[in-house]
Structure 1
């Protein structure tokens, strides 16, 4: 029972992290930075990759 609860919490946190990372990636300052230098903010990558990892671990816990 506790593994399923932990899995659901990880899925919810992962979704929130992925959305946060995408919001940073799509922000105006990030778009200007990508246009000028081609660099993507590390916070965007950390949020999206961290969110994907949390979702994957959460799905494995729920099973």
Structure 2
């Protein structure tokens, strides 16, 4: 059961990282980065959430 949960969290993290990467490279994020010097908040939150979920998912999968 824990393996399935860990795999689901890992997959969710990878999906969030994908959406964060797309958001980071979007036109709106590029314009915001030129004006403010930083990408949009959505891009940052997707990337942070995805990284945390992927790490937690890997931790659950690798735990004995």
Shift of 1:22: 1.1
Structure 2 residue 23 is the aligned partner of structure 1 residue 35: no
1:26 paired residue number: 25
5+ residue gaps, structure 2: none
Tell me which stretches of 4 or more aligned residues in structure 1 moved more than 2 Å. none
CA deviation map 1:17-61 (0-9, x unaligned):
011011111101110111122132111111111001101110111
Aligned residues: CA RMSD: 0.8
| SS class of match (2:44) | helix
Count of residue correspondences: 62
Q: What SS does structure 2 have at the residue aligned with 1:46?
A: helix
Cα distance in structure 2, aligned partners of 1:45 and 1:37 = 14
Stretches of structure 1 lacking an aligned partner (at least 5 in a row): none
TM-score (norm 1): 0.91
